[in-house]
Amino acid sequence: MDLVLQKENFLTKKVRVIDKNTKIILEPINTTGVTVSFIKSNEFKFLLGSLVTLGTVAAYYKTKADDSFTLYQDTNDEKYLRSTKKFDLISGISFGLLQINFGYLIYSILIE
C-alpha cells in the first residue's frame, strides 16, 4: 500500500508502508526569497500594539498634567507645578516615541 504525505513548504513524498516503525523525513522546499507580507508579520503586530500603548500613555499623562496644572492655578502650590512638569515630560516622551513608531510603521508598509 502506498501512502502520500503532503505538508505545506515540504516536498510531497510517496512511501510504501512496510514497517510501522519506519521513519520518514520530509524535505523542505527551498523557501529562500519567499517573504511574508509585512501586514501579516509579527513586527507589524508589535508596532501596532506599541502604537496603541504609547498613545494611551501619552493621553493619560497629559490629562494628569492638565489636572495638576488646574490645581496649581487654584492653590499656587509649587508641588502641583512640579507634578505638571513631570507629567508633561512623560507625556511628551511617550508622544515622541509614538511619532517615531508611526513613522516607521508607515515607512515599512510603503517599502513593501
| Beta bridge partner(s), residue 2 | 16
Any domain includes 104? yes
Any domain includes 89? yes
Any domain includes 100? yes
Any domain includes 71? yes
Task: Quote the domain boundaries for residue 105.
Answer: 38-111
Q: What is the DSSP letter of 41?
A: S
Total tally of structural domains belonging to the chain: 1
Full-model pTM: 0.66
Any domain includes 12? no
Query: Considering only CA atoms, which of 57, 111, 42, 110 is closest in space to residue 88?
Result: 57
pLDDT of the chain along its 112 residues, tens only? 678 888 887 888 888 777 777 777 788 887 665 667 888 889 999 999 999 999 999 999 999 999 999 999 999 999 999 999 999 999 999 999 999 999 999 999 998 7
